[in-house]
Amino acid sequence: MIRFANPRVPCPFCGAVVPNERCPGEPYECASCRAKLQMRKKGSGKLLYSAVAISVAVGWVGGARGLGLVTAAAIIFFVAFGVLVWLQLRFFPPPFEPYDGHKIIG
């Protein structure tokens, strides 16, 4: 089971709060109306670009240049992306949308 923050994102169909845990690779399921749900995918690219920008900035400020900067940014990226994803799920959870049947990563 994957569990993030406290469940508080409502189901788009019935408005009930969707349990914030699921099996890896499975969609979320509304406990009230049994709708299969996924977190909204649109906009998730912003986190990725932000993480890249933060990584390069931190590496640059830390004194890395050239190939060193690329290496440092690559390492920092995983930390920055993880922190951003955690922050988003904790403070700005994306709304649920109907499960589109595509593979779920994670």
- Closer CB to Zn ion, 32 or 50, in the complex: 32
Secondary element (H or E) of residue 47: helix 44-61
- Least distance in Å: CB of 69 to Zn ion? 47
62 versus 98: smaller Cβ distance to Zn ion: 98
* Interacting residues toward Zn ion by CB under 5 A: 11, 13-14, 16, 30, 32-33, 35
36/89 with CB nearer Zn ion:
36
- Residues sharing a CB contact under 8 Å with residue 91, sequence separation 6 or more, in sequence order: none
Residues facing residue 96 across a β-bridge: 39
